[in-house]
A and B are shown apart, each in its own frame.
Chain A
Amino acid sequence: MAKLVEIIGITHNPFLPRLIKAPNPDPVVVKTAQDYEGMRQRMAKARPDVLIVVASDHLNQWFMDNMPAFLVGKAPYTEGPVPSEIRAFGLAPYRAKVDTDVAKGIIVEGSRLGVDFAFSDECTMDHAFTVPLGFVRPEMDLPIVPIWTNVLAEPLPTSRRFYTVGQKLREMIEALPGGTRVGVLSSGHLAVEVGGPKSSNYSSDTEFDRRMMELISAGDGEAVVKEATYERLIKAGNVTPGFLNYVLLMGLAGGAKPDATGLDFPKITAAMHYMVWDVDAGGAQ
């Protein structure tokens, strides 16, 4: 039986790598870089054999001609980000081998447990994968299993569905053969608006950010599921549903409180944050 050893959720803000390297970086961004170095160390300490990475696609690869709600990548390799993002954000490339046995195991167990994943044998990661991987596993030495979520093309899966898929993903991981140690990394964001009237270089709803991080810190999955309705997410900012990946993590953690969380507001971009469950170190069981 495989073992879930670590769960980490951090932002995939595509501006962050460049903001950190800026000549006079915002002090909050400097702190975030330190926090994320801590996330790298925690994941390394958990000694995962494979990383399942749960993130979204910004209509770069999947589109409304064929839109998957949840999709497992099982190509032998995957890389990213897409050329348009390298051009727009100056992001570094990330390339990883995919653990196709684990990927197929997740798909098969998922079906047994009521989660019918779409799958892909040819997939490209966008910044939602490469940014968190660049922080948490810059060595690019671990195989991954990418899982894509639809958070941008309506109609979306509900917050309840994200939570349930997280719960079921735990069962899928534990049903995998062998003693594989599995780390889960997810990326999302708190309130953010892109291409809408509230677009700015700051959080579009600090009240939402504080409330959700408070509930996550308390391990209160039921309250998050209840409050993170589509309407509330959109009110917080027109692309805020990227938050739903964190709801999936709460389900994966089985209602346990995270071992650590953080929330900070830089003056130049959306809120910085993290959540981590050191599952194998006596955290969520």
Chain B
Amino acid sequence: MIKINRYQVNKVLREINQNPESFKAYKENAAAFLAKKNLSSEEREAIAKVDFVSLYAAGAHPFILNAFVNRVWEGDRQKLDTEFRSKIAPFGYPDFST
């Protein structure tokens, strides 16, 4: 279980969702892209690995997180929704406020 600065994490996820250049930079070299952001090492690792379970549990905004995962996911998209729902379910509804 990691702790995150929700505002800073939401800000970076949203930038990747919205800005095609940031999306490209993240996809090409996530570590290099994230190194320039105001994030902790745990936050960088979770975003680089698309660790949606840790990010959800720590209170990343579900609307932004959902868009981020859908934007960057490279695995089987058919399975994504089911996997996302079942893996975050144990965490219920964490505090999403910033």
Chain A positions within 8 Å of B, measured between CB atoms, are 58-60, 63-65, 82-84, 88, 152-155, 194-199, 234, 238-239
Please give the number of chain B residues whose Cβ is less than 8 angstroms from any Cβ of chain A in the complex. Answer: 27
Q: Known contacts A59-B61, A82-B18, A84-B17; is A199 also within 8 Å of B93 by CB? A: no
Contacts of B17 in A (CB 8 A): 84
State whether B63 touches A84 (Cβ < 8 A).
Answer: no
State whether A197 touches B92 (Cβ < 8 A).
Answer: yes
Nearest CB in chain A: distance from B62 CB, A: 3
Contacts of A65 in B (CB 8 A): 11
Q: Does B89 contact A (CB under 8 A)?
A: yes
State whether B93 touches A234 (Cβ < 8 A).
Answer: yes
Q: Known contacts A197-B85, A197-B88, A199-B85; is A238 also within 8 Å of B62 by CB? A: yes
Contact of A194 among B7, B20, B62 (CB under 8 A): B62
State whether A58 touches B97 (Cβ < 8 A).
Answer: no
Q: Known contacts A64-B98, A82-B18; is A59 also within 8 Å of B89 by CB? A: no
Given A196-B88, A199-B85, A234-B93, 9 further pairs, Cβ under 8 A: A64-B98, A82-B18, A83-B18, A154-B98, A155-B97, A195-B56, A195-B65, A195-B84, A196-B62
Q: Known contacts A84-B18, A195-B65, A195-B66; is A63 also within 8 Å of B11 by CB? A: yes
Contact of B7 among A60, A64, A238 (CB under 8 A): A64
Report the separation of the CA atoms of residues A60 and B56 in the bound assembly, to the nearest whole angstrom.
20
Report the separation of the CA atoms of residues A19 and B83 in the bound assembly, to the nearest whole angstrom.
25
Q: Does B81 contact A (CB under 8 A)?
A: yes
Chain B positions within 8 Å of A, measured between CB atoms, are 7, 10-11, 14, 17-18, 20, 56, 61-67, 69-70, 81, 84-85, 88-89, 92-93, 96-98
Contacts of A152 in B (CB 8 A): 61, 63
Chain B residue nearest to A82 (CB atoms) is B18
Contacts of A153 in B (CB 8 A): 61, 98
Q: Known contacts A64-B10, A84-B17; is A194 also within 8 Å of B66 by CB? A: yes
Nearest CB in chain A: distance from B75 CB, A: 17
State whether A58 touches B63 (Cβ < 8 A).
Answer: yes
Chain A residue nearest to B70 (CB atoms) is A88
Chain A residue nearest to B7 (CB atoms) is A64
Chain B residue nearest to A60 (CB atoms) is B18
State whether A63 touches B93 (Cβ < 8 A).
Answer: no
29 A-B pairs in the complex with CB atoms less than 8 angstroms apart? A59-B61, A59-B63, A63-B10, A64-B7, A64-B98, A65-B11, A82-B18, A83-B18, A83-B20, A84-B17, A84-B67, A152-B61, A152-B63, A154-B97, A154-B98, A194-B63, A195-B56, A195-B63, A195-B67, A195-B84, A197-B85, A197-B89, A199-B66, A199-B81, A199-B85, A234-B93, A238-B93, A239-B62, A239-B63
State whether B81 touches A154 (Cβ < 8 A).
Answer: no
Contacts of A64 in B (CB 8 A): 7, 10-11, 98
Chain B residue nearest to A193 (CB atoms) is B62
State whether A59 touches B64 (Cβ < 8 A).
Answer: yes
Report the separation of the CA atoms of residues A197 and B56 in the bound assembly, to the nearest whole angstrom.
10
Report the separation of the CA atoms of residues A199 and B66 in the bound assembly, to the nearest whole angstrom.
10
Report the separation of the CA atoms of residues A196 and B91 in the bound assembly, to the nearest whole angstrom.
10
Interface centre among A83, A155, A234, A238 (most CB of B within 10 A): A238
Contacts of B63 in A (CB 8 A): 58-59, 152, 194-195, 239
Report the separation of the CA atoms of residues A250 and B63 in the bound assembly, to the nearest whole angstrom.
27
